[in-house]
Structure 1
Amino acid sequence: MQRLVLPQTDLNASVLVLGTALFGSSIDEAGSFRLLDRYYEVHGNFLDTSLNYADWQWPVKGISEKTLGKWLKLRGHRQDIIIGTKGACPRLNNGAFFRLQREDIVSDLHQSLHNLQTDTIDLYYLHRDDPSKPAAEIIETLEDQVKAGNIRYYACSNWSLPRIQEACRYAKESGKRGFVANQMMWSLANVNRHRLSDPTLVSMDAWMTQYHEEGGLSAIPYSSQANGFFSGKYAPGDGQSDSLAGRHYYNEINFARLERVQHMARDLDLSCSVIALAYMLSPAHAFPVYPVIGPKNMEQLDDSLAAVEVQLDLNSIRMLEAH
């Protein structure tokens, strides 16, 4: 597995991030451990989780983090692994959706430290934003946690571009590092914003791309394989427009891209999913990109890992991106 130092940090991170949203729940503990062991075996070292992952489907709260914490302790791998987790998590059922008060951030952080059985989080994301709160207050809270040793670096997830700019501007003016990465929904496929079930999700667009290009801010995108849209399971008129992939990605531009991916995959004797992920890993992007993958089994994990060895030239990238 290739590694790339995350700019503004000393984190030498795998270019593919293992997403663990379902670990310990619909992917049981034994299956989760097998995926983690395989990822570690190929020198993967960057894990992505959140305090609330799988809470929507599982009675044990924080089960993803707890599963990772148990694996890290049993295997003795903590010093080899970069943990990225998210706090200030929105409430899924009741109560205030936005939770960016200082006490919310600190409470979530300490719960994550407990779940993960660790003394510090390598990369701590704010899972959502609250535009009503000054970014300066939020940055100061995170800086206090860095000073306390609870987190090493911090980042944002599902923040709008103007709010990222506000936070980074304050950090620069006050002599602080600020966000070292941004996690958004991004893949080769264009997102149907009007059909997202959660309107607070933020996807990559031209303006955000330009911001990343100009400042070199790292991107750590989720849904980097478009919820399996390029897996071969989907096609125009297949009756699956109300599936998750259908709601998010069924449109003319994406079906045209799917057809080009299929042609390229046949020419290179690779899976379509590998081509879609190789696009995300391409050095044609003018800033560091660490895609999050979400395999449910070993076959899917090994398929994603194959993308690391694929190098698409600029012409191929532009052809895939065409409308």
Structure 2
Amino acid sequence: MNKIQIPGVEGGITQLIMGSDYFSPKRMELVSQMLDSFVENGGNTIDTAFIYCGGESEEAIGIWMQERGNRDQIKVWTKGAHPNASGPRVNPDAIREELEISLQRLQTDYVDLYALHRDDPNVPVQVIIDALNEHVEAGTIKAFGVSNWTVQRIQEANDYAKKNGLHGFTFNSPNLSLAKAQEPYWRDCISADDEILQWHTERNFPLLSWSSQARGFFTGRFTRDNLENKDLVRVFYNDANWERYDRAKTLAEEKGVSTIQIALAYVLNQPFPTCAIIGPQNPEEMRSCAEGAQIRLSKSEIAWLDLKQESR
């Protein structure tokens, strides 16, 4: 499986990242089956978060790594500082508290990747960068990035880090998919638009996409007239996205692959380093993702799929 390089993470991370928002110790048979299948297909990076399944996602990953004895072969990515009922959690004390708990659940003394799950624009970037550098120096995280931050805030933080000889953010995790979100799937979430894509392209800055396959929009289970999935309708149903679906289906037929594999390939063939978080729940879906990750698309095909030009 192809990899991208993240400064601070030895050996790189695979372009497919296994999502774990349904993991739990109560479902260890399924968790183990899917993680074993992921590794067998060449994957090495698992995405989780402090809040996923009330912490059970991290616990299940920790159990699996202990049972397999493979911690040194796996790149663990967890996230923290998501708001709770009391409000924002983007502050040094909350980051430290949640990271310590995450490490206990994961049964490890470090994570390879750590991301701030949300931003709090009221907190100066220097406070955040200084706090995260303390954890890098302590060895509890190897590299850090953000999820659902504006690129303006990322740039401000990295400018401060560079000026002061500190580690900065090395990856960004917004939503990027062939279907464009017309409103956030969850409150305060960010989807990559043309401005964000240009920023990543100019800096060759890694993007690790969540909902990379648009929540199943390209599976073929949904049609223009099927309005059953209210969230999918709210976020992705519009004429432009259905045209993207039609073009993906046409290209898939020409290449002898599936429409959803073309949608995945769109994410993985950007002009800057990209990864896609995937959420297969059976070996067949895992194989589909692994095969889709091998599809190469030209710049012209990417532009055509994204309605930037009318021919390939």
**What TM-score comes out, normalization by structure 2 length?**
0.95
- How many residues in Structure 1 have an aligned counterpart in Structure 2? 308
CA distance in 2, matches of 1:146, 1:106: 12
What is the alpha-carbon distance in structure 2 between the residues aligned to residue 136 and residue 66 of structure 1? 32
Q: Please say if 1:35 is aligned against 2:34.
A: yes
CA contact (8 A) 2:8 2:143 kept: no
Q: 1:84 to 1:11 in 2, by over 3 A?
A: farther
The alignment partner of 1:108 has SS state of helix
1:104: which partner in 2?
Answer: 94
Quick one: which amino acid aligns to residue 267 of structure 1? Answer: E
1:75-94 to 2 correspondences below 5 Å: 75-91=68-84, 94=85
Equivalences for 1:82-231 in 2 at 5 Å?
Answer: 82-91=75-84, 94-96=85-87, 98-193=88-183, 196=184, 198-231=186-219
SS of match in other structure, 1:309: coil
- Asked if structure 2 preserves the Cα contact closer than 8 Å seen for 1:7 and 1:218, the reply is no
Residue in 1 that maps onto 2:226: 238
Instruction: Name the aligned partner's letter for residue 276 of structure 1.
Output: A
Kindly indicate whether the alpha-carbon contact (under 8 Å) linking 1:9 and 1:180 is maintained by their aligned counterparts in 2. Answer: no
8 Å contact from structure 1 (residues 21, 53) kept in 2: yes
Q: Is the 8 A contact 2:17 2:47 kept in 1?
A: yes
Does the CA-based 8 Å contact 1:11-1:82 persist in structure 2?
Answer: no
Q: Judge conservation of contact 2:227–2:233 (CA < 8 Å) in 1.
A: no
* Letter paired with 1:200: D
The residue aligned with 1:57 is: none
Pair 1:7–1:101, CA change in 2 (3 A): closer
TM-score by length of 1: 0.92
1:58 is matched with: none
Shift of 1:317: 1.3
Change in 2 beyond 3 A, CA 1:48/1:287: same
Aligned partners of 2:251, 2:228: CA distance in 1, in Å?
24
Q: How far 1:9 sits from its partner (Å)? A: 4.3
Give the Cα separation in 2 of the matches to 1:217 and 1:187: 17
Percent identity reads 35
Judged with a 3 Å threshold, the aligned counterparts in structure 2 of structure 1 residues 322 and 125 are, in CA distance, closer, same or farther, namely same
Aligned partners of 2:197, 2:43: CA distance in 1, in Å? 26
SS at match of 2:274: coil
Q: CA deviation at 1:8?
A: 5.9
SS for the counterpart of 1:240 is: coil
